[in-house]
Amino acid sequence: MSETILAIQNLSKKYKIKTHPFSLKYAWLKAVNDVSLNIRKGELLGLVGESGCGKTTLAKLLLFLEKPDQGKIQWRDTLLTGLGPKKLKFWRRLVQPIFQDPFASLNPKQTINQILQEPLLIHHLGDRRKRNRAVNQVLTEVGLSPKLKTAYPHQLSGGQRQRIAIARALILKPEFIIADEPTSALDVSVQAQIVNLLLESQAKRQITYLFISHNLSLVANIAERIAVMYMGKVIEIMERNQFLGEHHPYTEVLWSSIPRLERKTKINVQQWGEPPNPLFLPSGCVFHPRCKQKIEICKKEVPSLKEIKPGHWIACHLF
């Protein structure tokens, strides 16, 4: 087991939301609720959950695009939370994001060359010749021709744009990449190409990945570990060889929701219902209203993450 490179401790972020568009009342939406997670050096950690579970907010907190209300984020020996904007600049170079929609994340008024040079200019890296060389190199690395340098984003296909977004992340030689649903806007055949590109860069450059997705079958195919989020909480963390073992009841629901070609046992999917309103979370375990294995204690007490096997953590009273 390799060392922890990024430690997240009791991280929380809540937003003040109107309970109704015309209402004067506010409620707190706990987008990320007391999350602790360790990310190991060089691994690809998959983070899955349904929409609204807080996975993107967690990514924003790690990127320092949002300020946490509570908790610590530590990179190697450096405590990042509490650092001022100037001292954080080193982190902004080490961590790079790749977003979902390559149509929205590239500036339509810049050429590919300008888009790729901008990170280097911001961090004052290299002279003009070196920057040009870096752009050519990174374009080749993501499987594009350096001739595309003069093109604008609208001239490229979705897959090509996502490659540019990856190139923009790679050009700073980051150590940690947060990919937030990087393939959900793409066709399946293109998705496979993009995912393989990320896996290659992980192996070649020893980059640590946080791969966020709602697609459990995709993540299960590529991740070394998976963390499952539900309503702002991490409810399960598992190693690759534990993907097919026993799980938190919510993870079971996610597994069995995946369309399969041959389904042996018939399950009653209607009883799952839908996620609760995040403004008014249920008491106790947030999953208990949808859980068919719930016991009395689930309504009262919030379960904490427990290690049931080495490396396998579950937050559930049943374990």
Partner 1 sequence: MLLKVHNLHVWFRKKKETIPAVNGVSFSIAQDDTLGLVGESGSGKTITALAILGLVPPPGEIIKGEILFLGQNLLFLPPKRWQQLRGKEISIIFQDPMTSLNPVFTIGEQIAEVFTHHFEYSTKEAKIKAIELLKKVGIPAAESRLNAYPHQLSGGLRQRVMIAMALAAQPKLLIADEPTTALDVTVQAQILELMLNLKRQMGMSILFISHDLTVVAQVVRRIAVMYAGKITEMANTEELFKNPLHPYTQGLLNAIPRIEDVSDKKRHLRTIAGQNGQAFTTLGCPFAPRCDKRLPICLRRMPDFREYSEKHQVACWLYE
Q: For binding to partner 1 (CB under 8 A), which residues are involved?
A: 50-51, 157-160, 187-193, 195-196, 199, 214-218, 220-222, 224, 240-241, 243-244, 253-261, 269-270, 272, 274-275
Beta bridge partners of 27: 17
Min separation Cβ 62 and partner 1, Å: 23
Min dist CB 140 to partner 1, Å, is 17
Least distance between partner 1 and beta carbon 192 (Å):
4
The full 3-state SS of 191-213, as one line of letters, equals HHHHHHHHHHHHHHHCCEEEEEE
For 115, residues 6+ apart whose C-beta sits below 8 A from its C-beta are 106, 107, 153, 164, 168
Provide the 3-class DSSP secondary structure of residue 184: coil
Nearer to partner 1, 101 or 118 (CB): 101
Nearer CB in complex with partner 1: 8/177: 177
Nearer to partner 1, 125 or 190 (CB): 190
HEC string of 234-253 equals: EEEEEEHHHCCCCCCHHHHH
Nearer to partner 1, 96 or 162 (CB): 162
Q: Which residues contact 217 (CB under 8 A, 6 or more apart)?
A: 258
Helix 128-141 / helix 158-170 crossing angle, nearest 10 deg: 130
Residue 2 C-beta: closest distance to partner 1, Å? 16
Alpha-carbon distance of 198 to 184, in angstroms, equals 14
Alpha-carbon distance of 47 to 61, in angstroms, equals: 14
Rounded to a whole number of angstroms, the minimum distance from the CB of residue 229 to partner 1 is 13
| Separation CA 201–CA 170 (nearest Å) | 9
Nearer to partner 1, 129 or 266 (CB): 266
Smallest gap from Cβ 253 to partner 1, in A, equals 6
130 versus 245: smaller Cβ distance to partner 1: 245
